[in-house]
Each structure stands twice: as structure tokens, then as C-alpha cells.
């Protein structure tokens, strides 16, 4: 198997740059006329799979909205991951895991292993120190999977931590990007991505990353094509994955409407692929 980074780059070239979320939160379940339980989540996820599989570069289930319903919700997540991967669509588990030692290793095996929750990539939090991610980074490399490291997130609370400047003049967010770049050194296209909020006023220097840039905050949160252009140098735009969730999902519940919205947004962000 080729590395996750190369598979993702090829998928972006074939399907466009979108990462589309599967976020069955209660207001959306109600808007779709579905029950707020695992059965409703299963119907929601099934519509998303039928709309997104084979049409977008990456699909990102938000793990928390499945965990809410306990084992029944986790079963739906397992089935959703399996259906997407069987269709040949890359899956990013939005789990934002971050811990140390054997616990981080267990998280890594859950999401980057070959068990029922195994996906192509997982989001991780480096704020126990980038080195705490080593078990996930090592397993991702061994299994040709990927990780997306939270670097400069769009929530306003993040500024008090991520913008702290160290003795070398770099912000903590920049350190996270630089560490991800070091992990990607020598790769054709790295498998360690970073998460950069599309609603930020400025972004860390991404020029040496050599890996994917996941940008949430697009659409409902106010980010868009112009904000991405302002944050990412033209030379790096080909690595950007705009993350669209609510903007697509509010078009549901029909599969055809979801497909139409994906096509509309794919055209809007086609400039990212040159």
C-alpha cells in the first residue's frame, strides 16, 4: 500500500479538495426528521455515505456524535467507516485524541490499527507535547495511515495557548507545524497533516510542511475561498482540504440534495487544485 499522504493527494486530484464531515448532532437529526438515538444516527450516516462515497477526497465522521449513544452509536460508526472504506473513500476519524505513553498507544491502535474502528487517519491533539504523539506517528507510518495535528484552531479560546511565543520567537502553533514538517521530511507528500482554522486572522508558516492542511471553519462558521487565500500562500494551496460539514449537511436529508451541495462547493474550491 502507498502512504496515506500519497493516497490523499491522489484522491484530491481525482475528486477535488473537499473534506466533508458526518456530524449527526441533535439539531441536524431533528431537521432531517430523524430520531435522536442510534437508529436516527444510522439513517443519517447511511445517507451521507451514499452521497459522499466516491465523490470527495476525504470524509470525516465526528466521533463524539456517535459516542453519545454508547455502544449502539459506536456500532453505527464502525459500519459507517467500513462502508466508506469499502467504497474506496478515505476516512478521517475526528477523534482529537491526545494522551501519553501506553494510553496514546491504545488510542493509536484503535484508530490507526486494523480493528473495527480502524480508519485512514485520525485527528490528534499535541498539547501534552508533540512528543506525546509518538505512538500514533509511529503506528501511522508502519500502517501507511495518517494523522492530522491540531496546530492553529479556529476556536477563540485557543489563542491564549497556541499564540504564546517561546524564546526562539516561534508561537506554539508554529512549533506544532514545524514538528509536523520534520515528520514529513523526505516524503513524496507527507502523511502528517495540520489543522488550521479558516477563520483565523493569520496562520503559521506552512511553507515547509510538505503535507495536507485541513481547514475547518468553512461555510457556516464564516470561512471561505477568500479567507483560505489570505491564510495560505499560493504555492501551498494544492495541499489545502477545506472541511465542510454544516454547509453540506444542512442541505439534507435527501441524498440528491447532499450530492448537489457537494458539487457546488467542489466547484467553488476547484481553484485549490490549480
Residue 53: which residues within 8 A CB-CB, separation 6 or more?
Answer: 59, 83, 84, 87, 88, 89
List pLDDT tens digits, range 168-181: 999 999 999 999 99
Q: Which domain holds residue 85?
A: 4-273
Between the alpha carbon of residue 94 and those of residues 131, 147, 237, 255, the distances in Å are: 20, 10, 22, 23
- The enclosing domain of 79 has a CATH number of 3.20.20.70
List pLDDT tens digits, range 17-40: 999 999 999 999 999 999 999 999
Summarize the confidence of residues 74-80 as an average pLDDT. Answer: 98
Question: Residue 197: is its pLDDT beyond 90?
Answer: yes
Phi, psi of 210 (to 5 degrees): 55, 45
Summarize the confidence of residues 235-251 as an average pLDDT. Answer: 94
Q: Which helix (H) or strand (E) holds 90?
A: strand 90-97
Question: Residue 219: is its pLDDT beyond 70?
Answer: no
List pLDDT tens digits, range 109-166: 999 999 999 999 999 999 999 999 999 999 999 999 999 999 999 888 988 899 889 9
Active site residue 96: yes
User: What is residue 225's predicted lDDT score, i.e. its pLDDT?
Assistant: 85
Catalytic residue among 96, 208, 250, 259: 96
User: What is residue 177's predicted lDDT score, i.e. its pLDDT?
Assistant: 98
What Rg do the C-alpha atoms of the chain give, in angstroms? 17
Question: Residue 9: is its pLDDT beyond 80?
Answer: yes
Residue 269 pLDDT class (50, 70, 90 cuts): very high
User: What is residue 273's predicted lDDT score, i.e. its pLDDT?
Assistant: 83
**Helix boundaries (H) for 153-196:** 159-162, 172-184
Domain count, the chain: 1
**Reported pTM:** 0.96
Residue 220 pLDDT class (50, 70, 90 cuts): low
User: What is residue 20's predicted lDDT score, i.e. its pLDDT?
Assistant: 97
Summarize the confidence of residues 91-99 as an average pLDDT. Answer: 97
Amino acid at each position: 500500500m502507498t502512504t496515506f499522504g500519497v493516497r490523499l493527494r491522489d484522491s484530491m486530484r481525482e475528486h477535488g479538495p473537499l473534506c466533508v464531515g458526518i456530524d449527526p448532532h441533535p439539531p441536524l437529526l431533528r431537521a432531517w426528521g430523524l430520531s435522536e438515538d442510534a437508529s436516527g444516527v444510522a439513517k443519517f450516516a447511511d445517507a451521507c455515505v451514499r452521497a459522499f462515497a466516491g465523490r470527495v477526497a476525504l470524509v470525516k465522521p465526528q466521533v463524539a456524535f456517535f459516542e453519545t449513544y454508547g455502544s449502539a452509536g459506536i456500532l453505527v460508526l464502525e459500519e459507517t467507516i467500513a462502508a466508506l472504506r469499502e467504497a474506496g473513500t478515505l476516512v478521517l476519524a475526528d477523534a482529537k485524541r491526545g494522551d501519553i505513553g501506553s494510553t496514546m498507544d491504545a488510542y493509536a491502535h484503535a484508530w490507526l490499527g486494523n480493528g473495527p474502528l480502524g480508519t485512514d487517519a485520525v485527528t490528534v491533539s499535541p498539547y501534552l507535547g508533540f512528543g506525546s504523539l509518538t505512538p500514533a506517528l509511529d503506528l501511522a507510518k508502519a500502517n501507511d495511515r495518517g494523522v492530522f495535528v491540531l496546530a492553529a484552531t479556529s476556536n477563540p479560546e485557543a489563542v491564549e495557548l497556541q499564540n504564546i511565543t517561546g524564546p526562539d520567537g516561534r508561537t506554539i502553533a508554529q512549533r506544532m507545524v514545524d514538528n509536523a514538517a520534520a515528520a514529513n521530511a523526505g516524503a513524496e507528500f507527507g502523511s502528517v497533516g495540520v489543522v488550521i482554522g479558516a477563520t483565523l486572522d493569520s496562520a503559521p508558516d506552512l511553507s515547509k510542511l510538505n503535507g495536507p492542511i485541513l481547514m475547518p471553519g468553512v461555510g457556516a462558521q464564516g470561512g471561505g475561498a477568500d479567507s483560505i487565500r489570505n491564510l495560505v500562500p499560493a504555492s501551498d494551496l494544492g495541499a489545502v482540504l477545506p472541511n465542510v460539514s454544516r454547509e453540506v449537511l444542512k442541505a439534507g436529508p435527501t441524498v440528491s440534495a447532499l450530492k448537489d451541495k457537494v458539487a457546488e462547493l467542489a466547484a467553488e474550491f476547484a481553484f485549490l487544485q490549480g
